[in-house]
Amino acid sequence: MKPSIPKGTRDFLPEQVVKRNYIFDTIESVFKLFGYVPIETPSMESLETLTGKYGDEGDMLIFKILNSGDYLSGVNKDGLSEISSTELASSIAGKALRYDLTVPFARYVVQHQNDLTFPFKRYQIQPVWRADRPQKSRYREFYQCDVDVIGSKSFLNEIELIQIIDQVFSELGVKDFKIGINHRKILAGLAESLSISDKFSDMVTALDKWDKIGEEGVGKELDSKGVHRDGIAGIMKFAKATSLADLGDLGQSEEGKQGINEVSKILSKLDKLGIKSCLFNATLARGLSYYTGTIIEVVADGFSGSICAGGRYDDLTGIFGMKDVSGVGVSFGADRIYDLMEERNLFPSDANVSTEVMFANFGEEEASFCLPLLKEVRAEGINAELYPDSAKMKKQFSYADAKHVPYVAMIGADEMAKNELTLKTMETGEQRTIKSADLVKELKR
């Protein structure tokens, strides 16, 4: 059998894992800095927990898990031709792999409400799965790094999340990122003022494609969905707004005004904090159906797809039986950030150094002699290893070279007798003999 892994999944080489950890560690340290605490949830949830939260398209992209045992036992085989695949799925699969971290989080909050202190600020870094067709920077298994505050309606949370985004990408060295912000209530106000509230979700998905298919494409799509001419004209005018001031009063819509007011406050506070990366974007809409307030999306110039996104959701916990709990959060797409950073060579070069010094192996006696030295070096927090076999020097040096080990220490019979060692700097090729006792001092220079 030829070894292989399922479509859209990946194995990672040590060098890749080191780089991935660099991203995870950076993100996590910023999350902690703002007072968020970690949680984890299982990779699988009850199917009904997930279905209906992501829109019709979303349901199809959920990976279902076949029931254990005879999974056909609950199926009426005679009626098989008449039932829909959704109905069949729910009778043979009671569990599914999580599609994102937000819905499981809402479930978690409701389930553990008595053990949590609100407002609850958590972060969660775990993989999610989508039965999508893979493409560049689109995988079937990928990591999301979520930060959310639940149980607080304050827009200070939005400001905090945007600060987090700004800090994470700055620390990672991604320079040209842009944080777009919009508000579901602004969009709802627009629909209301144009009397097309019944076409709200069609309007949202069409508007979201503005950057991709342009004015004409969006117009066509709206027309095909049955939006009347005045409505399309109004949406077009709206889409071209570059600031909140361009929106006017949105036809006296109370809801629209609320949205504008909130975004305006957020932007002015960010301005005072010196954060210039966040801008109002009228065409930012977001397809996920659970957003009700602010929506946020981060893109980088020349990189297709968002690298971080989120928003406010007012009713997610309500579905699980806990009313009036508003939450807001964003999710960093670690795998896309990796691809972006790889493309632009943004990983620090020392990210692939694991061992700082390797001791060459000259034989059993010499190797034993190295052991206390290794212990001493490691006690100083210096990563060190001893080549396990007394192989030829050529082989041992090739190994060190392949592993990007910067220093190789050699202790043969001569050095052993004098309590010395020969230290070679791999990059320059220079080497010199020093007292064993001076090794740590030498490596720390």
- Tell me how far apart the alpha carbons of residues 174 and 166 are, in angstroms, rounded to a whole number: 10
Mask 187-226, x = binds RNA (CB under 7 A)?
Answer: ------------------x--xx--xx-------------
Per CB under 7 A, does 153 bind RNA?
Answer: no
Between 253 and 420, CB nearer to RNA: 420
Binding test (CB under 7 A) with RNA, winner from 169, 292, 333, 361: 333
Distances (CA, A) of 423 to 68, 371, 394, 409: 59, 16, 16, 5
Identified binder of RNA from the candidate list 105, 142, 169, 369, rule CB under 7 A: 142
From the CB of 439, what's the least distance to RNA, in Å?
14
Mark the segment that binds RNA (CB under 7 A) among 5-13, 105-113, 177-185, 239-247: 5-13
Does 135 participate in binding RNA (rule CB under 7 A)?
A: yes
Is residue 55 at the binding interface for RNA, with CB under 7 A as the rule? yes
Closest approach, Cβ 337 to RNA, in A, equals: 7
- Residue closer to RNA by CB (options 39, 423) is 423
CB of 344 to RNA, least distance (A): 16
Partners of 376 in the β-ladder: none
Only segment of 33-41, 109-117, 126-134, 377-385 that touches RNA (CB under 7 A): 126-134
> If you write DSSP's letter for every residue of 332-358 in order, what string do you get?
EEHHHHHHHHHHTT-S-GGGG---SEE
Cα separation, 219 vs 207, whole angstroms = 9
Q: Which is nearer to RNA, 347 or 362 (CB)?
A: 362
Residues 225-284 that bind RNA (CB under 7 A): none
Do residues 201 and 194 touch, judged by C-beta distance below 8 A? no
In the complex with RNA, the residue whose CB is nearer, 250 or 411, is 411
In order of 108, 380, 438, 441, the CA distances from 445 in angstroms are 50, 13, 11, 6
CA angle 325, 326, 332 (to 5 degrees): 130
- Residue 52 engages RNA in binding (rule: CB under 7 A): no
Tokens, residue 425: 């700097």
If we measure between CA atoms, which residue out of 183, 182, 196 comes closest to residue 251?
196
Listed ranges 128-136, 169-177, 345-353, 375-383: which one lies at the site for RNA (CB under 7 A):
128-136
Q: Which is nearer to RNA, 209 or 265 (CB)?
A: 209
**2 belongs to the binding site for RNA (CB under 7 A):** yes
Residue-wise DSSP of 63-106: PEEPPSS-TTTTS-GGGTTTS-HHHHHHHH--EEE-S-SHHHHH
Nearer to RNA, 208 or 262 (CB): 208
Establish if 343 lies at the interface with RNA (CB under 7 A): no
> Measured from the CB atom, is 250 or 310 closer to RNA?
310
What is the bridge-based pairing of β-strands 120-129 and 37-38?
parallel
Dist CA 119 CA 325 (whole Å): 10
Longest CA span, the chain:
93
Sheet holding 64-65, edge to edge: 44-46, 95-97, 64-65
Helix (H) or strand (E) holding 219: helix 210-224
Phi, psi of 294 (to 5 degrees): -55, 140
Does 397 sit near RNA (CB under 7 A)?
yes
301 binds RNA (CB under 7 A): no
Q: Which residues are at the interface with RNA (CB under 7 A)?
A: 2, 4, 6-8, 54-55, 57-58, 60-61, 100, 130, 132-139, 142, 144, 205, 208-209, 212-213, 286-288, 297, 304-309, 331-333, 335-336, 362, 392-395, 397-398, 400-402, 410, 412-415, 422, 424, 426-429, 431
